Structure 1
Amino acid sequence: MGQTVFIPRELDANEPRVAASPDTVKRLAALGFDVVVEAGAGTRSRIPDEEFSKAGATIGKASDVVKADVVLKVRRPGDAELKSYKPGTAVIAIMDPYGNDAAVAALAKAGVTAFSMEFMPRITRAQSMDVLSSQANLAGYQAVIDGASEYDRALPMMMTAAGTVPAAKVFIMGVGVAGLQAIATARRLGAVVTATDVRPAAKEQVASLGAKFLAVEDEEFKAAETAGGYAKEMSKEYQAKQAALTSEHIAKQDIVITTALIPGRPAPKLVSAAMVASMKPGSGLVDLAVERGG
Structure 2
Amino acid sequence: MKLGILRTPARTILPISQKVIKKLSDLGAEVVIEKPESSVNWEESLIQNSAPYVSREEILKTADILLSVGYSELESVNARYWISEFQPFNQPDITGKLDAMGITGLSLDMIPRISRAQSMDVLSSMASIAGYKAVLQAADLLPRYFPMMITAAGSIRPARVLVIGAGVAGLQAIATARRLGGVVEAFDTRSAVKEEVESLGGKFVEVEGATDRSDSGGYAVEQSEDYKKRQQEKLAERASGADVIITTAQLRGKPAPKIITEEVISNMPPGAVIVDLAASTGGNTIYTENNKLVAIEGISIIGDSYLADSMPQTASELYANNAFNFMELIVKEKEIQLDLDDEIISNAKING
The TM-score with structure 1 as length reference comes to 0.89
Which of 90, 115, 130 lines up with 2:106 in the alignment? 115
Q: Distance in 1 between matches of 2:28 and 2:157?
A: 59
CA distance in 2, matches of 1:154, 1:104: 48
Give the 5 Å matches for 1:142-221: 142-217=133-208, 220-221=209-210
Q: Deviations over 1:46-104 (max 9, x none)?
A: 112x864632x22201111221110000112x22xx21423x52110111111311233
Relative contact order: is structure 1 or structure 2 higher (C-alpha 8 Å, sep ≥ 6)?
2
Counterpart residue identity of residue 213, structure 2:
E
Q: In structure 2, what is the equivalent of residue 258 of structure 1?
A: 247
Secondary structure of 1:35 counterpart: strand
Equivalent residue number for residue 213 of structure 2:
225
Three-state SS of the structure 2 residue aligned to 1:74 is: coil
Secondary structure of the 2:145 match is coil
Q: 2:6 aligns with which of 5, 8, 15?
A: 8
Structure 2 counterpart of 1:91: 82
Instruction: Say how many residue pairs are matched.
Output: 281
Q: Does the 8 Å contact 1:18/1:42 carry over to 2? A: no
Q: 1:83 is aligned with what amino acid?
A: E
Judged with a 3 Å threshold, the aligned counterparts in structure 2 of structure 1 residues 43 and 267 are, in CA distance, closer, same or farther, namely: farther
Query: Which letter does structure 2 place at the counterpart of 1:9?
Result: R
Contact 1:155 1:167 in 2 (8 A): yes
Rounded to whole Å, the distance in 2 between the matches of 1:285 and 1:104 is 35
Q: Note if 1:291 corresponds to 2:291.
A: no
Deviation (angstroms), 1:107: 1.6
**Residue ranges of structure 2 left out of the alignment (5+ in a row):** 284-352
RMSD of aligned alpha carbons: 2.0
Q: Is the CA contact 2:3–2:65 (under 8 Å) kept in the aligned structure 1?
A: yes
Query: Which of 136, 148, 164 is the matching residue for 2:127?
Result: 136
Deviation per CA, 1:249-276: give whole Å up to 9, x if none.
1122100000112222221111012322
TM-aligned CA distance change 1:92 to 1:43, over 3 Å: farther
Pairing partner for 1:60 from 45, 54, 69: 54
The answer (yes or no) to whether the contact 2:164–2:187 under 8 Å persists in 1 is yes
- Of residues 114-123 and 128-137 in structure 1, the stretch that sits farther from structure 2 once superposed is 114-123
User: Are the structure 2 counterparts of residues 292 and 43 from structure 1 closer, same or farther at C-alpha, using a change threshold of 3 Å?
Assistant: farther
Q: Please report how far the alpha carbon of residue 177 of structure 1 lies from its aligned counterpart in structure 2 after TM superposition.
A: 0.6
The one of 30, 33, 52 equivalent to 2:29 is 33
Q: d(CA) in 2 for partners of 1:45 and 1:235? A: 50
Identity across matched positions, percent:
40
Displacement of 1:183: 0.4
Equivalent in the alignment of 1:267? 256
What are structure 1's unaligned runs of at least 5 residues?
none
Aligned mates of 1:249, 1:124 — CA distance in 2: 34
**Offset of residue 248 of structure 1:** 1.9
| Structure 1 match to 2:300 | none
How has the CA–CA distance of structure 1 residues 137 and 190 changed in structure 2, closer, same or farther, with 3 Å as cutoff? same
Question: Which amino acid in structure 1 is aligned with residue 237 of structure 2?
Answer: E
Q: What residue identity is the alignment partner of 1:195?
A: A
* Amino acid in structure 2 at the alignment position of 1:173: I
**Residue-by-residue CA offset, 1:147-184 (whole Å, 9 max, x unaligned):** 11111321000001111010000000001011011001
Do the aligned partners of 2:112 and 2:217 also contact (CA within 8 Å) in 1? no
Partner of 1:73: 68
Shift of residue 229 of structure 1? 5.0
